[in-house]
Structure 1
Amino acid sequence: MATITTGRLAMLPLRVEHAEEMAGVLDDPALHTFIGGAPDTVEELRARYRRMLAGSPDPAVTWLNWVVQLRGEECLVGTVQATVHGGRVAEIAWVVGTSAQGRGIATEAARALVAWLGEQGVGTFVAHIHPEHHASAAVATACGLTPTDEWHDGEVTWRLTG
């Protein structure tokens, strides 16, 4: 899996070692308002990263996960991920820590993710967004996704088919 770079960001392939820094990035309970749950401890995050890196038990599904690093400051600020089905359809998601929000980082990272996945042959992109999560809806819109009439676990399904 490649490192994806933009003008301000480096999206680095996830490693278990990222858990310590990411636990601090993701420790704000407000981040969980729309996605549920609570911030993970470093140990919980390490365990989750190990499971993610082990890969999907379904051979037709690929899990791709990156941490988002702010270049120049060399600090992690969030994550992007894709669950790719059959090499053609990707469910994508993004999270940016509270201290880095409001600077266009999620949009920049998500656009780069969509572009990179498109270069790998993915033609359809899907995101599941809480209907009241306006910031995530703005990121999806900036990536070319549009809301559908479909719902998934209380979230609106957004889609882009290229």
Structure 2
Amino acid sequence: MLPEPIDTPRLTLLPLAVAYADEMAGVLADPALYVFTGGEPPSPEALRARYARQVTGSPEPGTVWINWVVRERGSERLTGYVQATVTDRESTADVAWVVGTEWQGRGFAREAALGMAGWLAARGVAELVAHIHPRHRASAAVARALGLTECGEDDEGETVWRGPAAGPVAGSATGPVDPGNH
């Protein structure tokens, strides 16, 4: 399962490439992004190394890493990323999303996550799982938009959310999502 570009009404999700690291280092530079997740902004060098590992793929058999950067079509600027770790045996994807602080509050995380979820569902993924800090209301809202619900599990201080990959994607408020190539 290789990532393909995904178009949503305002965004294009582009398969991750090392070439995006320098621009993404700027997107991820605000320390406020790490309040709930910990860590600190990555340097361009660290991000290039991380992206090189990610595009190579998971070393675990039966596990696939799928990563996209999110580009706003109007400005052609990168705004964040979405990612999925898919386990073939279970048809389950652990999903995550990050939008740079400059672009937050515009619904980009929701729109990008819905686009990713539609793409995953079209390729046989049955269940989505997200791990969200209990005080991160914005990420919880994205999870709800995906049709995920809190399942009462805690994983290292984060609340586990689960739901069907098909969720409300087709009827999302952002309009139709084209999960194929553009």
Query: Equivalent residue for 2:96?
Result: 93
Cα deviations by residue, 1:74-117 (Å, 9 ceiling, x for unpaired) = 00000000000116100000000000000000000001111110
Measured in 1, the distance between the counterparts of 2:45 and 2:161 equals 33
- The aligned amino acid for 1:143 is L
> % of aligned pairs identical?
56
Q: Which runs of 4+ in 1 moved over 4 A?
A: none
1:13 aligns with 2:15: yes
1:48 aligns with 2:63: no
Q: Secondary structure at the match of 1:27?
A: coil
Query: Equivalent residue for 1:108?
Result: 111
Cα deviations by residue, 1:56-89 (Å, 9 ceiling, x for unpaired) = 0112000000000000210000000000011610
User: 5+ residue gaps in structure 2?
Assistant: 167-182
Cα deviations by residue, 1:115-135 (Å, 9 ceiling, x for unpaired) = 110000000000000000000
Query: Equivalent residue for 1:58?
Result: 60
- The aligned amino acid for 1:56 is S
Of 141, 147, 158, which residue of structure 1 is paired with 2:144? 141
- The aligned amino acid for 1:135 is A
Q: Secondary structure at the match of 1:158?
A: strand
Q: Secondary structure at the match of 1:57?
A: coil
User: 5+ residue gaps in structure 1?
Assistant: none
Bigger RCO (CA 8 Å, 6+ sep): 2
Query: Equivalent residue for 1:25?
Result: 27
Measured in 1, the distance between the counterparts of 2:155 and 2:81 equals 21
1:46 Cα deviation from its structure 2 partner: 0.3
Alignment of 1:109-124 (within 5 A): 109-124=112-127
Cα deviations by residue, 1:127-161 (Å, 9 ceiling, x for unpaired) = 00000000000000011000111111210000003
TM-score normalised to the size of structure 1?
A: 0.98
Q: Secondary structure at the match of 1:35?
A: coil
Query: Equivalent residue for 1:72?
Result: 74
- The aligned amino acid for 2:65 is W
- The aligned amino acid for 1:52 is Q
